[in-house]
Amino acid sequence: MKIDKETDSKKHSISLVGLMGAGKSAIGRRLAKKLDLQFVDTDEEIEKAAGLSIQNIFDIHGEIAFREGERKVIRRILQNPGCIIATGGGAFIDPEIRGLLKKYTTSVWLRADVEILLPRVARRKNRPLLKNRDHKEVLEKLIKDRYDIYAKADVIVDSEDLSHESMLERVTDSLSKSKTFCNLKSQGMA
């Protein structure tokens, strides 16, 4: 694979960032298929590495231990460029992880309002930050605390109540306007 040094083309991968329920995994899988790239879900990789569910990691070891495991897993994933990475909701908030993703990937924030997120997060019971808490309150606080940081992503795409195919088209359209993504295309990676 030819690397274009002028564009910091260590950015061979695309990372999807944003809150839980924004569609990172669902869109990531479809984007990987469309671009013929490997798909990696960091939460799934953390569970494999720990031999525990995310919920059990939080319950047994706490969030600090989970975040350290997340850093290790993301560092390992970035050793194999040319993939679509769906990150956990807190990954991009961590300054070290954000720096790695900004350096080695084109980061795409799937931005969503609380009204979009609420029904989506209610479908899954394995979200530690929501356990035994008011989902709307938690999401509103996360939006307040995190959206300014997510805004540092290379590409921002509004996640709305659309079909997966429509959201995929929205993401690929936004990526096609991204300088980094255009360089990936010229390298034959997209």
Specify whether domain 10-169 bears CATH 3.40.50.300: yes
Structure tokens at 17: 């960032």
Mean pLDDT of 4-26: 75
Which are the contacts of 105, defined by CB distance < 8 A and separation ≥ 6? 11, 12, 13, 14, 15, 78, 85
Mean pLDDT of 1-8: 33
Model confidence pLDDT, tens digit, residues 78-115:
998 889 999 999 999 999 999 999 999 999 999 999 99
pLDDT at 140 over 70: yes
As beta bridge partners, residue 167 has none
Model confidence pLDDT, tens digit, residues 143-178:
999 999 999 999 999 988 899 999 999 999 999 887
pLDDT at 17 over 60: yes
Report domain extents, the chain: 10-169
Higher pLDDT, 69 or 128: 69
CA 138, 139, 142, 146: dihedral to nearest 10 degrees? 180
Q: What is the pLDDT of residue 11?
A: 55
Please say whether the beta carbons of 17 and 111 come within 8 A. no
Model confidence pLDDT, tens digit, residues 20-40:
999 999 999 999 999 889 999
pLDDT at 61 over 60: yes
